[in-house]
Structure 1
Amino acid sequence: MSFKFEKLIIWQKSMEFGEDIFKLSQNFPKDESFNLTSQIRRASDSVALNISEGSILQSKLEFRKFLGYSIRSLAEVVTCLYKAKNRKYISEEDFNKLYNDSYNIMNQIIAFRNKIIE
């Protein structure tokens, strides 16, 4: 027995992405705990959370709306990644990997959302 969203590749990838962001943010300075660390973790977790929440709704239009929230959360993560890179909390290599992951997940969510028609 499983929920429908567990079969969605976009949900699976966003779950992995959230864990990658969590691990990376463990190395942020302590004085960022209630700022950038919290923000990037909440935004990255929000991607998968919105996919799962939207998937159980009866309306396809509502599901599309929640996928839009996931896309916006990814944009927020990217901005946090830029902040972390600019503040020298992460390497250029880590930034590039997670930036590319964000971009790929976003495009997969957009493609999936475009296939959902009311």
Structure 2
Amino acid sequence: MDKKEEQGRIRIHEDLVIYQKAFNAAMRIFELSKRFPVEERYSLTDQIRRSSRSVCANFAEAWRKRRYQAAFIAKLSDSEAEATETQVWLNFAVKCQYLSTEEGRELYSTYNQILSGLVKMINYPENWLISNNR
């Protein structure tokens, strides 16, 4: 199945595997971050929750901006930056021993998959843009 056929089945951003991975990872981070110490509430806990949720929010915005290639790519780039930021916070959480090495690796790997998908969309936006001829 080529991209055009695959895209025909996608009605909303929530239908995309990349969004589902990002949403599930953000929810996992939310659950795990409940264990973080109270003194991290306004720093690491808020930062990792915010950035992980922003991956999803920026991706959803990008999806709605598919009429304009530059706007689409810009929002995907924002999502990419938030995913990378989340990886940084994951590293801090592991080093501070708030997450186990295994939990950190699993989530970091998930964000690598998300980043790979975002980069593919950024590099080949024509596969995702809304054409005026549709």
What TM-score do the two structures reach when normalised by structure 2?
0.81
**Alignment-derived partner of residue 110 in structure 2:** 101
Name the residue aligned to 2:120. Answer: 111
Is 2:88 aligned against 1:79?
yes
Residue 41 of structure 1 corresponds to 49
Count of paired positions: 117
Return 5+ residue gaps in structure 1 as ranges.
none
Per the alignment, residue 22 of structure 2 pairs with 14
Deviations 1:73-108 (A, max 9, x none): 011111101111111111111111011111111001
Q: Which has the larger radius of gyration?
A: 2
**How many Å apart are 1:72 and its aligned residue?**
0.5
> What is the RMSD computed on CA atoms of the aligned residues?
1.6
Q: CA deviation at 1:113?
A: 2.1
Q: 1:13: how far off?
A: 1.3
- Counterpart among 63, 72, 88 of residue 55 in structure 1: 63
Range 17-26 or range 6-15, more displaced:
6-15
Distance in 1 (alpha carbons) for counterparts of 2:62 and 2:101: 34
User: Secondary structure at the residue paired with 1:43?
Assistant: helix
33-42 or 14-23, larger mean C-alpha shift: 14-23
Alpha-carbon deviation of 1:3? 5.8
Which contiguous aligned blocks of 4+ residues in structure 1 show a shift greater than 4 angstroms? none
TM superposition shift of 1:55: 1.2
| Alpha-carbon distance in 2 for matches of 1:6, 1:75 | 21
Q: Which amino acid aligns with 2:72?
A: F
